[in-house]
Amino acid sequence: MLKDIKLNNIFLIDIETVPQYENFDNLPTHFKTLWEQKSQHQRTSEQSAAEFYERAGIWAEFGKIVCISIGFFHLEDHQIHLRVRSFAAHDEKFLLSQFIELLAHQSPNLQLCAHNGKEFDFPYLCRRMLINGLQIPHILQLSGKKPWEINHLDTLELWKFGDHKHFTSLNLLAAIFDLPTPKNDLDGSKVKQVYYEEQNLNRIARYCESDVITLAQVLLRFKGLPIIPPENITLVE
């Protein structure tokens, strides 16, 4: 399967999400009750719903997307290059509309690739599009499609080799393949703080882009291809 994947047909994707409200106290009353119900099986006996709200961004019903980063390969002088761009905004509907517009102008052979994308990125995007009253692009729709008609590629699924209980993070894959990773002082647990306290979308976008670059390098290793040197990676403003 991997040998048949054409790099120029791939969009590498990563999203960053945060809770819709800065803290539990800001939630509308009926959503506080719904959050307590939604999170009850994930919380430990010592955790309150308010304390656990720090993690609300991972659920599309209580979170929102603040950044989508995309990477795409191209050949130049017989070398593989990577271009990365981001959509980052406080207005989620505007952000998603930009992403949808970009997808509308791509080849029908386009494949979307993400790490754990089938469990997180792709369904999260679809749910937030529906919540914002936007039409889900054909490439993200699953209904009525046969498995081989779904153009989604998931590096976590590729690494599982059929082992459904096995989870490996993108950072761990990068480490075991000894891949260079962009230096970043941010991790997923700090995105909410950077968004609400610093209101620094640019910092979040750079972090999201670093994950896309790592994703690209992992995919190339899966295909037995050389990784991309830093001078062949371009961040598009």
Residue 48 forms part of a structural domain: no
pLDDT of 3 higher than 70: no
Give the CATH number for residue 144: 3.30.420.10
Residue 170 forms part of a structural domain: yes
pLDDT of 2 higher than 70: no
Residue 196 forms part of a structural domain: yes
Domain containing 16: what range?
Answer: 2-20+62-236
Residue 76 forms part of a structural domain: yes
Note the pLDDT tens digit of each residue in 179-228.
987 666 777 788 999 999 999 999 999 999 999 999 999 999 999 999 99
Confidence of residue 30 (pLDDT cuts 50, 70, 90): very high
Instruction: Give the total number of structural domains in the chain.
Output: 1
pLDDT of 111 higher than 80: yes
Residue 55 forms part of a structural domain: no
Entry pTM: 0.93
Residue 53 forms part of a structural domain: no
Residue 25 forms part of a structural domain: no
Note the pLDDT tens digit of each residue in 11-26.
999 999 999 999 999 9
Residue 51 forms part of a structural domain: no
Q: Are 195 and 201 in contact (CB under 8 A)?
A: yes
**One-letter amino acid of 11:** F
pLDDT at site 81: 95
